[in-house]
Amino acid sequence: MPDGAVVAAHDPGAPALRGRDDRHGHATATSVVFAAQEDHPGVDVQLLARPYRETKAMTGGNDIRHALDGSGAVLRCLRLWARIENETLPGRVIYAG
């Protein structure tokens, strides 16, 4: 490995990742959702941030389970759920299982 190389591991359940960056990411995603729905009347977009048992029906089951605490909390929304006219695009999340 060359000098100065950086190796990073991303643990989605790490407490440090739930701080300012998480709030910033949530605010950015929320602003994208509002903008999409305001600019395009046939578009419905949702950030999947509720408990996993409520979110699972909107993901298509292709989610990532992280053995953290078994709480069922959604740790990260990887892809927003969207309905554009008659087509539904499932979201994707990482959840504590």
- Tens digit of pLDDT per residue, the chain (97 long)? 343 333 334 444 444 444 444 555 555 666 766 676 677 778 888 888 889 999 999 998 889 999 988 899 999 989 889 888 889 999 999 999 8
Long-range contacts: 83-90, Cβ < 8 Å, 24+? 83/43, 83/44, 83/45, 84/40, 84/42, 84/43, 84/44, 85/42, 90/58, 90/59, 90/60, 90/62
pLDDT at 47: 85
In terms of Cα–Cα distance, which of 45, 53, 47, 35 is closest to 76? 47
Q: What is the separation, in whole angstroms, between the first and last Cα of the chain?
A: 35
Predicted model pTM: 0.63
In whole angstroms, what is the distance from residue 65 CA to residue 28 CA?
24
